[in-house]
Amino acid sequence: MIIRKLRLQRGWSQEQLSEMSGLSVRTIQRIERGDKAGLESLKSLAAVFEVQIADLQKEPEPDVKITEEETRVINQVREIKGFYSHLMTYALVITGLFLLNYMTSPEYIWAWWPAMGWGIGIVSHGLSAFEVLNFFGADWERKQVEKRLGRKL
């Protein structure tokens, strides 16, 4: 989370950080997810962020402390990003299916069926990502944990 916060504070994308540090985008993603970084990766990142390697290895200090609200918002933005990725995939695949349908059998438009079925999933994903209808959100999870523990968290 420290790497992600430092990157976001500077307004850099993962691709930009990758270019500046000489690391692959995949390595940046892995480190931001919480996987342990190798010494060479830490050296590269420390040089780019102009911090000590030790600052990247320890728990966040007060100036780079990640609050609970920041963590929640970062996770929500990740969900929204996932929704947009899902939506773009849907648009490309369904467009391809309609083209295939038109080229092979234009007399019967069967591409509506996968468009509607997958569309229901898209709507559900959007409602969840934007927290319009969030039946299984953080409050639900907390209540379920407390119920099973038999006490408040």
Which residue would you say has higher pLDDT here, 135 or 55? 55
- Cα gap 149→122, rounded to integer Å: 34
pLDDT class of 56 with cuts at 50, 70, 90: confident
pLDDT per position as a tens digit, 128-145: 888 887 676 667 777 888
pTM: 0.56
Rg of the chain over all Cα atoms, to the nearest angstrom: 21
pLDDT class of 63 with cuts at 50, 70, 90: low
Side-chain-side CA neighbours of 43 within 13 Å: the count stands at 3
3-state secondary structure the chain: CHHHHHHHHCCCCHHHHHHHHCCCHHHHHHHHCCCCCCHHHHHHHHHHHCCCHHHHHCCCCHHHCCCHHHHHHHHHHHHHHHHHHHHHHHHHHHHHHHHHHHHHCCCCCCCHHHHHHHHHHHHHHHHHHCCCCCCCCHHHHHHHHHHHHCCCC
pLDDT per position as a tens digit, 96-127: 999 999 999 999 999 999 999 999 999 999 99
